A = this chain, B = another copy of it.
Amino acid sequence: MEHIFTDDYFMKKALQEAEIAFDKGEIPVGAVIVVDNRVIARTHNLTELLHDVTAHAEMQAITSAANFLGGKYLKGCTLYVTLEPCQMCAGALYWSQISKIVFGASDENRGFQKMGAQLHPKTQVISGVLEKECADLMKAFFKNKR
């Protein structure tokens, strides 16, 4: 039997969350956190609804996963997120010592790589998973807004 728990598999779950954000009029970013092939947090951007710049999908996912695990460190966990994290989220991921980050689309303007923020040295990063699907959803959102 083929192994179904691929990066694509979990990124699709993050994309489903991004679509929920899209339907709410939020910038469509979704995230899931996975440990041992089990999704322990699923979140989407809620900055508009909550009037809160800190309500990025990743920030909520970190809080939610830590609640689930009963501890603040996310060692052994993987974050799947449809857009490259910003420096705020990279900073939170740094503190969490998360093991792996997989993101879909790059953010050339406000992504942590462009802005210069640092991840924890132990964190592995994979980019470009379902990149087109993730980027297309963002493009559709901003096209609607104009």
Contact B92–A54 (Cβ < 8 Å): yes
A4 at the interface (CB under 8 A from B): no
Contact B47–A72 (Cβ < 8 Å): yes
Contact A67–B95 (Cβ < 8 Å): no
A–B pairs, 13, beta carbons within 8 Å:
A48-B72, A51-B70, A52-B66, A52-B72, A53-B72, A54-B54, A54-B63, A54-B92, A87-B94, A87-B118, A88-B90, A88-B95, A91-B91
What is the size, in residues, of chain A's interface with B at 8 Å between Cβ atoms? 30
A138 at the interface (CB under 8 A from B): no
A121 at the interface (CB under 8 A from B): no
A34 at the interface (CB under 8 A from B): no
A115 at the interface (CB under 8 A from B): yes
A96 at the interface (CB under 8 A from B): yes
- Please, which residues of chain B bring their CB within 8 A of the CB of A117? 87, 91, 115-117
Contact B51–A67 (Cβ < 8 Å): yes
Report the minimal beta-carbon distance from A110 to chain B, rounded to whole angstroms: 9
Task: Answer whether A53 and B118 are a contact pair too, CB < 8 Å, given A72-B47, A87-B87, A88-B88.
Answer: no
**Distance between Cα atoms of A113 and B71 in the complex (Å):** 28
Contact B91–A89 (Cβ < 8 Å): yes
**Distance between Cα atoms of A75 and B137 in the complex (Å):** 30
A86 at the interface (CB under 8 A from B): yes
Query: What sequence of 0s and 1s flags, for each residue 66-85 of chain A, a beta carbon within 8 Å of any chain B beta carbon?
Result: 11001111000000000000
